[in-house]
Amino acid sequence: MRLFDMAKELFPLALRPPELAAWAAVVLLGCLWAFFPHTVSGAGCPACSTAWRLNVNTASLEELETLPGLGARRARMIVESRSKRGDFASVSELARVRGFSKALVKRLEPLLRAEAR
């Protein structure tokens, strides 16, 4: 008896390989969109609004650490700068924080927003 036939008998309601492949493709595309949303045009897409972006003025240290290119040290520097100087008016103001290059700020812009508390 072939392995596939055994699987059909043991798990009659389980996904078969063609359905499994289709399901895996949908999950993969969803994950790609979730992790790289800046590649998707925001025109006419309600899910592409700035609401999903991390607010740099209210984000916790742990949330900031999850951003690519930031670690515990840079996240701590953002929080310290925010407490000393006040809220950021825009994401581009992150360049005023020591250790943040304009290139890093540009990479982070699609992932962040700056809204008053």
Per-residue pLDDT of the chain (117 residues; tens, 9 = 90+): 565 565 566 655 555 566 656 666 666 666 666 666 555 444 445 445 556 789 999 999 999 999 988 889 999 999 999 999 999 999 999 999 988 999 999 999 999 999 987
Distance in angstroms (rounded) separating the CA atoms of residues 17 and 12: 13
- With tokens 């540009």, the residue in question is 106
pLDDT of residue 42: 46
Q: Specify the pTM.
A: 0.57
Q: For residue 52, what pLDDT is reported?
A: 78
Q: Both tokens of residue 79? A: 């929080």
The residue type found at 55 is N
Domains located in the chain, CATH noted: 3-35 (no CATH), 50-113 (1.10.150.320)
